[in-house]
Amino acid sequence: MMSYKQNSMNDPAASLGGPVGAYPSKHVAPPASHSLPIVPQIFPPSHESALIDSFGRIHNNLRISVTDRCNLRCTYCMPEDVVFMDRGELLTFEEIARFVEVAAPLGIDKIRLTGGEPLMRREMPRLVCMLARIPGIRDIGLTTNGLLLADHAQALYDAGLRRINISLDTLNPERFRQVARRDGLDRVIEGILAAKRAGFEPIKINAVSMRGITEEEVVPLGRFARTHGLEMRFIEYMPIGADHWERNKVYFAHEILEQLEKEIAPLVPVEDYDPRAPAMEFRYTDGGGRVGIIASVSRPFCASCNRVRLTADGKLRNCLFALDEVDVKQLLREHAGTALIADVIRKNVMAKWEGHEINTARFIKPIRTMHAIGG
């Protein structure tokens, strides 16, 4: 096994956001033989218009949820029985575009469209076109579960979308139903292949890794991605779903990497790693592609976070785990002035806390689950 450059992080909770000693003895993520890259606190120079918080983090990344509706019921995301928002509560495409027009001059240049399942919202290519025309927006991505992607991939690409993430936790139909509480694996695979035909590059596959449930899927998914020229993204199980979160179900980043190296090929950190990205990226030394690890629990990246979120019903959140949110829908529907909306955005970002504190006794799980926030 390849031995990566060691760092001094002997306690995973000491990594940017969690206090030393916060982890219980069982299922602690010990220092790996190839320890994960240190996440440096690197920020671009500040300027008057930047969305900057009290810790010096500059925000340029906006995640926009377009709906809370979904055609799956993944256990780590939402409850089996759920009452969705009335469609009249959702921001219109015009309201979303108006918000982005205000946010872009403040430094927002990267957008990711999410849900729920965003492709359950009609005319998504039209929204992509609207956002792509806004000055300053240089990057638009979309996260989808893939069930409807085969029917929409080409239209989304033609509208200007170039980056897409597809959620796929397993290649086993029975386990797919266990996790998603619905069938549909074959349609997700069809969606992935349709995205390739449409020309999307790169296509990233997001997999939530849960001990005792999907840990056996790591290697099959890794091989699947290598075969089809996809980039895998393994995500540690987080306390953001409807079910009671069990820390002992977290399958840690270093365990995922060790499994991939043992059964597929050695990995090394990529040279062009972006310290503000949620995923730590590695490449196979045999040229077989890349793997990303989103280690929100064992390696929190709060100190370099550059993201804010707009929910489908128009609430601005400065953190996925935020306990407070600001209503901007009313401002948009009352046709508030640009200066007022911009001021609300700035104040929301400035009030952002240091980190989510998952690894402390102070952590409080948000009332909203992932499907109602936006992935």
Q: Which has more confidence, 22 or 90? A: 90
Domain ranges of the chain: 56-373
Q: Do the Cβ atoms of 117 and 69 come closer than 8 Å?
A: yes
DSSP label of 10 = -
Q: Is 80 exposed, middle or buried (0-12, 13-18, 19+ CB in 10 A)?
A: exposed
pLDDT in tens, 270-288: 998 788 888 999 999 999 9
pLDDT digits (tens, 9 = 90+) for 160-219: 999 999 999 999 999 999 999 999 999 999 999 999 999 999 999 999 999 999 999 999
Residue 105 has pLDDT above 90, yes or no: yes
Q: Which residue has the higher pLDDT, 242 or 59?
A: 59
56-373 belongs to CATH 3.20.20.70 = yes
**Residues 322, 109, 88: CA angle, nearest 5 degrees:** 55
Mean pLDDT of 331-355: 96
Residue with tokens 């982005």: 100
Q: What pLDDT score does 47 carry?
A: 53
Q: What is the DSSP string of 116-171?
A: S-GGGSTTHHHHHHHHHTSTT--EEEEEE-STTHHHHHHHHHHHT--EEEEE---S
What pTM did the predictor assign?
0.85
pLDDT of residue 74: 87
